[in-house]
Amino acid sequence: MIKFTKSEIRDLIISFIILTIAFAISNVGLDVRGFISILPIIMVGVGFGFMLREIGHKFGAMKYGYRAEFKAWPLGLLIALVSAFIGFVFAAPGEIKVFADNLSEEILGKIAVAGPMANILLALISLTIAALTAPLKSHSIIFELIFLMSGVGYSVNSFLAAFNLIPVYSLDGIKVIKWNVGVWLVLFALSVIMMLLSITIGVENMVRFIIDNHLIHPIS
């Protein structure tokens, strides 16, 4: 069973709130009405993506018998807020601290890769839900909200996966690449492609392509 300390829960909540605000600002800027409208949708997408990524790291550490705890990075949270105003969120709110000495690069890499893999999986699940509910969104406000949340879930999670796989200090990518270049290359390429599809084509057009080519049979 995964257990969280009080300080860890506090750091997770603070990071979740700040990331939600940052992603909302990056989408609508200083439009207060737009911010209020999009905030609940962003909250779901960021919430699942951020929490699942950190739980993935924590579970990965526990699998090898190590205690792990999320620690917020105040400077990273501040940078996330500031960068949101230019339309790009520097999403480095903190990291999972593994309490162990002399961890091998293989174990560190496997713990690190669990987060981006969780984001990729959640992005694909979100896209599937969006495709399944797309035909019903014009008939029900509930299905419209599910479609919008799923679209945001795909965009946010593909971005989080790609961003955190960048091989620089403190991000997951540097740990994964030290362990296995091939694994890093495949996951990084996949997450970047997913992110670019979201940016250039858009989730709605992706869903239309999926439905038109009968890749998924939507709910009707």
Question: What residue ranges of the chain have pLDDT lower than 50?
Answer: none
Within 10 angstroms of residue 85's Cβ, the number of other Cβ atoms is 13
Q: What is residue 103's three-state secondary structure?
A: coil
Per-residue pLDDT reduced to its tens digit, 46-94: 877 888 888 888 888 888 888 888 898 899 899 999 999 988 888 888 8
Among residues 54, 95, 144, 204, which one is catalytic? Answer: 54
- Phi then psi for residue 70, to 5 deg, are -75, 130
Separation CA 155–CA 88 (nearest Å): 13
User: Is 54 annotated as catalytic?
Assistant: yes
Q: Which residues of 94-113 are buried (b: 16+ CB within 10 A; e: fewer)?
A: bbbebeeeeeeeebbbbbbb
User: What are the structural domain ranges in the chain?
Assistant: 6-212
Q: What is the pLDDT of residue 220?
A: 63
